[in-house]
């Protein structure tokens, strides 16, 4: 059986409810793994992934089942078992599972639908829920997965500063640290958005609106005020900074760097320049070999 892929454009609509999903990720990550979940995930990994990092497969299984149960319990009306009426949470779970498999089992060529099918064999005994909506589980294209990683990291950092009603970071330096992370992630997104029409760029614009709304609200805690947030760059500012950085790197590492950078602008096709924009190397970053303008290939930060 082949590995299902999405043949339509991604909607990114689950990011409209991302705060709920982030809270569920945090909650399930802080919850001890129940014995039944551990038992069933051990069985699954031993049977299906004996030769493919069984410990990693078990860990992903445990995290997924705890997250699935947390979301069902949170989103289901009266916490009954009919399930949530808004199925966008399945789009989030599809993203989460794609990101986890890509990051932790990227060299094993594990199909996300097959992994989900394997989970389904053990889910009911583990969490007293059956998994459903198989059509929602498929391979997300790399470009879309990178875009979703950017948005996920943006909102993760944003909600460490602000929970939707009040400032929650403890100190000004901590708040500014996460503000800086937002800016770095935002550069990776906005630099793809010379034209604003794509669904991803509209999602980036929505984040911009939330961030700037907080920045102008003058909310405070301790020595931090939301007006202290670092401003997000425009496309033009991000691209100008990128070009300046790229020219410096080419000049440093190439004997005729300045000549090459000028001629590349005239000779290379746009898609080649775009690829260079997203892929030049910076080994100084803690979590990625890519620089602040490049989406993390495995940049989704899970618990």
How far apart CA 218 and CA 103 sit, in angstroms, is 38
Q: Which residues contact 77 (CB under 8 A, 6 or more apart)?
A: 84, 85
- Check residue 293 and give its pLDDT: 46
- Check residue 135 and give its pLDDT: 86
β partners of residue 225: 220
280 or 191, which is more confident? 191
- Check residue 58 and give its pLDDT: 97
Question: Is the sign of the CA dihedral 146, 150, 151, 156 positive or negative?
Answer: positive
pLDDT digits (tens, 9 = 90+) for 245-259: 887 776 555 555 545
Where does the pLDDT of residue 217 fall: very low under 50, low under 70, confident under 90, or very high at 90 and above? very high
- Check residue 284 and give its pLDDT: 32
- Check residue 290 and give its pLDDT: 36
- Nearest residue to 204 via CA among 216, 191, 220, 222: 191
pLDDT digits (tens, 9 = 90+) for 32-87: 999 999 999 999 999 999 988 999 999 999 999 999 999 998 887 655 555 566 78
- Nearest residue to 230 via CA among 283, 180, 302: 180
Mean pLDDT across 282-297? 37
- Check residue 271 and give its pLDDT: 44
Where does the pLDDT of residue 145 fall: very low under 50, low under 70, confident under 90, or very high at 90 and above? very high
β partners of residue 162: 167
% of the chain beyond a pLDDT of 70: 79
179 or 251, which is more confident? 179
Model confidence, pTM: 0.82
- Nearest residue to 154 via CA among 125, 189, 120, 126: 189
Where does the pLDDT of residue 106 fall: very low under 50, low under 70, confident under 90, or very high at 90 and above? confident
pLDDT digits (tens, 9 = 90+) for 126-143: 998 888 877 899 999 999
Mean pLDDT across 268-294? 41
């Amino acid at each position: 059986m082949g590995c299902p892929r999405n043949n339509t454009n991604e909607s990114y609509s689950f990011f409209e409810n991302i705060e709920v999903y982030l809270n569920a990720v945090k909650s399930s990550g802080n919850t001890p793994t129940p014995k039944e979940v551990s038992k069933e995930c051990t069985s699954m990994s031993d049977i299906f992934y004996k030769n493919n990092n069984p410990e990693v497969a078990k860990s992903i299984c445990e995290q997924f089942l705890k997250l699935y149960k947390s979301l069902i319990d949170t989103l289901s009306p009266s916490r009954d078992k009919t399930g949530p009426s808004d199925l966008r949470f399945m789009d989030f779970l599809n993203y989460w599972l794609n990101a986890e498999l890509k990051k932790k089992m990227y060299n094993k060529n594990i199909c996300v639908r097959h992994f989900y099918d394997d989970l389904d064999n053990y889910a009911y005994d583990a969490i007293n829920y059956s998994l459903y909506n198989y059509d929602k589980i498929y391979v997300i294209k790399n470009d879309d997965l990178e875009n979703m990683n950017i948005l996920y990291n943006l909102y993760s950092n944003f909600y460490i500063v602000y929970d939707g009603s009040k400032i929650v970071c403890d100190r000004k330096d901590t708040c500014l640290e996460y503000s800086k992370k937002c800016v770095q992630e935002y550069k990776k997104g906005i630099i793809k958005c010379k034209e604003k029409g794509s669904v991803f760029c509209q999602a980036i614009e929505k984040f911009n609106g939330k961030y700037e709304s907080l920045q102008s609200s003058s909310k405070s805690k301790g020595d931090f005020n939301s007006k202290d947030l670092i401003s997000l760059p425009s496309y033009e500012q991000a691209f100008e900074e990128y070009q300046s950085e790229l020219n410096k790197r080419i000049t440093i590492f190439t004997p005729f760097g300045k000549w090459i950078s000028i001629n590349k602008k005239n000779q290379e096709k746009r898609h080649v320049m775009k690829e260079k924009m997203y892929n030049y190397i910076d080994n100084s970053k803690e979590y990625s070999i890519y620089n602040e303008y490049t989406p993390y290939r495995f940049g989704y930060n899970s618990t």
